[in-house]
Structure 1
Amino acid sequence: MGISRLLEKALLVGVFFMPAIWVSGAQAFCPAPASLPVAQVQRVVDGDTLRLSDGRSVRMIGLNTPETGKKGQSAEPFAEAAKRRLQALVDESGGQIGLRVGQQGKDHYGRTLANVYDRKGANLEVQLLSEGLGYLVAVAPNVALVDCQQVAERAARQAQLGVWRDPPVQPSTRLSKSGFAIVSGQVKSVQRNRGGIWIELQGSLVLRVAPASVNSFDTAIMV
């Protein structure tokens, strides 16, 4: 299959491939740095996004919670539970949080990317992951806390809490919409060119590793 056809399929599916970062010696917790800038939360937008009183929107690093209902769509399972839990954690912290801004400080929506801590130094992403209220997403270069975040997610997964109550892995042949998904499938082909590495799975799914992200992978197993 030509690369133009792969690009067409990738665009139609509307997915992106994030590096899976394997780590050893995972920490049991994510300690807060000695000094963090403190911010006041204006409101909790959803399970992984906060609006601050200074006008900034903060997207929590390493955490992806189910989507709340927007534009007439129904909320995904555990979306409201994640939002309520984050609201409770913020309230317990008196509405004040500490921010550890990522190496990449903003996303393409202009939101601040940060790890978030309560006033006692507890990491809020780890709290939600440990309760099964979201998924770990490790996106370089913002991977400073990935070790302890993996520990938290693994604990929830083993206990089948929240989003892990039913296996969330979807076969690549059954994907019907774009967005976040945990997918398994048989690899049909792997190609590499100036656009990166392209991995075609059975069904309509094509994964692209962008050139800037290639060094985050063990490319020997892909090509």
Structure 2
Amino acid sequence: MRILWILLLSLSGWAHAEIYQWQDADGRKHFSDRPVADAKVIDEKILDIKPAGHEFFRVKTVYDGDTVVLEDGRRIRLLGINTPEIRHRDKPADAGGYEAKRWLVDKLQDTKVRLEAGAEKTDDYGRMLAHLFTENKEHINLQLVAAGLASVSIFPPNLLYESELVQAQEKAERAKLGIWGRPEYATMPAAGLTEAGHPGWTRLVGKVVDIRNTGKSVYLKFSDMFDARIQSQWLDLFPDVNDYLGKNVEVRGWLNKNKGHWTMLIRHPSSIKRLSE
């Protein structure tokens, strides 16, 4: 429904229509041009509506599994995903990093790509943020996730193709493809986190014992050593966070340390899920 709605909005006559959002009993979000019970009008920007590019470019260099350089010199960071790191500077490679890079090299060596940008044009490193599509209409970002070579890593307001990416990840995870079958990316108990932390992309599980709202962020406390943080401006993307209280939850992301305490920023609902009791 999301893709159909985005296509409709791109047609003439829809540009100034009000957009309504509501959430069903299962927590899924829906969009429409017509009001329904408990629906609210939302900003069109949250839908990340962007026209698709039609010009194709040759890839000069594949830096790693989620970063390439075009022949014109532009560095492209693939949107919505994250692949394990390859060796750089004094940091060793992550498990699966070179596997993702080899896959991308093979996929792009005999084709050109077009770019589909997100709401934000560049990242903090000056790289262009985009989804890549080959001349054969292959969605590279999506295929990396489907093969288990990348995890979903959505940073609002870049929400383009979020549903497709999440569905592909769920399927790869169930099948234990790629990173989902590697012991290096198995879940770890949040209660066992120490001052040493854990490097790189990490999956932690535990019970949410408290919830604290500071206005700018909501903190889900797992222990005295660790909590997960959700920025208040993106709370509408999540189910009611109060439903996490007292529940066993998995969170995925990168740990940040402040005064001996670890925090993980949860940017999108795909990075947090309730576990079966």
Answer with 69-78 or 209-218: which moved more: 209-218
Partner of 2:109, secondary structure, is: helix
Residues 1:170 and 2:191 aligned together:
no
Q: How many percent of aligned residue pairs carry the same amino acid?
A: 26
Q: 1:126 aligns to what SS in structure 2?
A: helix
- Any residues of structure 2 matched to 1:50-129 within 5 Å, and which? 50-93=68-111, 96-129=112-145
Deviation at 1:161, TM superposition (A): 1.3
User: For 1:153-200, what per-residue CA distance to the aligned partner results, in whole angstroms no more than 9, with x for missing partners?
Assistant: 222222211111146222223442354222212223211123321222
Give the distance between the partners of 1:34 and 1:205, measured in 2 at CA: 41
Question: How far did residue 55 of structure 1 move?
Answer: 2.4
* Alpha-carbon RMSD: 2.4
Q: Which structure has greater strand proportion?
A: 2
Does the 8 Å contact 2:52/2:116 carry over to 1?
no
Residues 79-88 or 63-72, more deviating = 63-72
Of the candidates 185, 190, 193, which is equivalent to residue 211 of structure 2?
190
**Structure 2 unpaired stretches of 5+:** 1-26, 31-50, 246-277
Output the TM-score relative to the length of structure 2: 0.63
Q: How does 1:119-158 map to 2 (within 5 A)?
A: 119-158=135-174
Question: In 2, distance between residues paired with 1:166 and 1:34?
Answer: 35
Distance in structure 1 (CA, Å) of the matches to 2:224 and 2:60: 44
Which residue is 1:201 aligned to? 222
In structure 2, how many angstroms separate the alpha carbons of the residues matched to 1:63 and 1:88?
19
Hey, what's the Cα distance between the residues in 2 that align with 1:172 and 1:190? 16
- Give the corresponding residue for 1:10: none
Separation in 1, partners of 2:199, 2:230 = 17
Distance 2:119 2:237 in 1: 15
Q: TM-score, normalised by structure 1?
A: 0.76
Q: 2:202 aligns with which of 163, 170, 181?
A: 181
Q: 1:42 aligns with which of 47, 54, 60?
A: 60
Higher relative contact order (CA 8 A, sep 6+): 1
> Aligned equivalents of 1:80 and 1:55: distance in 2?
23
Runs of 4+ in 1 over 6 A off after TM superposition: none
Q: Secondary structure at the match of 1:110?
A: coil
Considering only CA atoms, is the larger Rg found in Structure 1 or Structure 2? Answer: 2
CA distance in 2 between counterparts of 1:198 and 1:38 reads 43
